[in-house]
Amino acid sequence: MKEIIKQLVEAYGPSGHEGQVRALIEGLIRDQVDEIRTDALGNLIAFRKGTGGGKRIMTASHMDEIGLIVTYVDKKGFLRCAPVGGVFPMTLVGSRVRFANGQVGVISTEKWLRSNDLPPWDELYVDVGATSADDVPVSVGDAAAFDRPFADLGKRLVAKAMDNRIGCAVNLQALLEMGESPNDVYFVFTTQEEVGLRGATVSAFGVEPDVGIALDVTGVGDTPEAHPMAVSLGDGPTIKVMDSSVIVPAAVRNWMMQTAQKAGIKYQVEVLERGGTDTAAVQRSRAGVPAGCISIPCRYIHTASEMVDYDDVQGAVRLLVELLKSQVTL
């Protein structure tokens, strides 16, 4: 999977600008599904017909990543920006960003080397190498993503946009490996999760699933002096119990845990105190959908160097395949 992961994480795709990621995924799966379409909000929906007697299952992995959007260009050609999604100023100074047209910029602060305080947003700017406003190659309203290459550390993988291209990679790989299933499965690659679960909200309404499975990253408690959390890199994918936006129904998480146990797949139990995923949007669709989440443990979430464990990723693929092939009795 590593080559697929590399392609996905290095693609440009801040919230609302997922086209490059969508085209990449569609090219990899088009010949493997019965139907494929893009809806009005840009969600990619790939349908695999079941053999009969099963449920209508929707998987959801969001394609978008956090980023910046240009709000103002000054006379010297420096850009002022606002966050797209959960971007933290402490991670930004000295980082590079890339716009849709390929233009690279460097983030800095007005008080460079003059303060140990975290810079507020109104003191941050992006330098694209312009000498004046007249030769700035981007405009107000243009969005940028972090510019950082994929790094294969062997067991551990590092890149920008692991949140949530790694979930997309798991979703995609499960589609390729699934084979026959009694269930009608809708593999959905959603948009605009980082700004409010917007793509999953409309795609779940359109698909009308009987069961939903979201795929995303989750935090860990295994780094020095980390906030206590019973999740570590390398101990398997997690099965979500609760986060800030959802409580997974007991029947769903029991189905997921029992499936993992039966298949001999190592997993962890996740309670995420802050943060949410597409699970909540799917669960609240129409009159309600029983929905759960498989998460990939990830260090340094919402930075330009997010880290996952390759064994956890492969375990997530195995678990998703087993769930999609099972006779669901929820």
Nearest-10 crossing angle of helices 19-29, 2-10:
160
CA nearest 89: which of 64, 63, 115? Answer: 115
193 flagged as catalytic: yes
Asked if 66 and 194 touch (Cβ cutoff 8 Å), the reply is yes
The two structure tokens encoding residue 40? 């009005």
Residue 29: Cβ within 10 Å count: 18
Asked if 161 and 168 touch (Cβ cutoff 8 Å), the reply is no
What is the distance between the alpha carbons of residues 217 and 301, in angstroms, rounded to a whole number? 8
CA nearest 84: which of 146, 172, 166, 150? Answer: 146
The alpha carbon torsion through 260, 265, 268, 269 (nearest 10 deg) reads 0
What is the distance between the alpha carbons of residues 213 and 171, in angstroms, rounded to a whole number? 10
Q: Decide the pairing of beta strands 44-48 and 184-190.
A: antiparallel
Asked if 310 and 155 touch (Cβ cutoff 8 Å), the reply is yes
Query: Exactly one of 193, 194, 306, 322 is catalytic; which is it?
Result: 193
What is the distance between the alpha carbons of residues 25 and 42, in angstroms, rounded to a whole number? 13
What is the distance between the alpha carbons of residues 47 and 58, in angstroms, rounded to a whole number? 9
Position 324, amino acid: L
In angstroms and rounded to an integer, the radius of gyration of the C-alpha atoms of the chain is: 20
The two structure tokens encoding residue 234? 């390398």
Which residues are known catalytic residues?
193
